Each structure stands twice: as C-alpha cells, then as structure tokens.
Amino acid sequence: MTKIAIGLSCVNKWVISRWSLV
C-alpha cells in the first residue's frame, strides 16, 4: 500500500510539473 501511495504521489507531482510547463 505504501508503494502505491508513493507511486501516486510521484505521478501527481509529474502531472503538476507538466501542467506548470504548459
């Protein structure tokens, strides 16, 4: 479960970063 939480956090951070670039 922890791994899933970390994975979602990483993806969320990547999505935010991508939106920032746009």
Q: How far apart are CA 13 and CA 22, in angstroms?
A: 15
Looking at residue 20, its pLDDT comes to 87
Looking at residue 5, its pLDDT comes to 95
Looking at residue 6, its pLDDT comes to 94
Looking at residue 21, its pLDDT comes to 81
pLDDT digits (tens, 9 = 90+) for 2-22: 999 999 999 999 999 999 887
Token representation of residue 12 = 């969320």
Residue 19: HSE in the Cβ half-sphere, 13 Å Cα cutoff? 6
User: What is the sign, positive or negative, of the torsion defined by CA atoms of 9, 11, 6, 13?
Assistant: negative
Angle at 12 between CA 14 and CA 7, to 5 degrees: 95
Decide if pLDDT at 1 tops 80. Answer: no
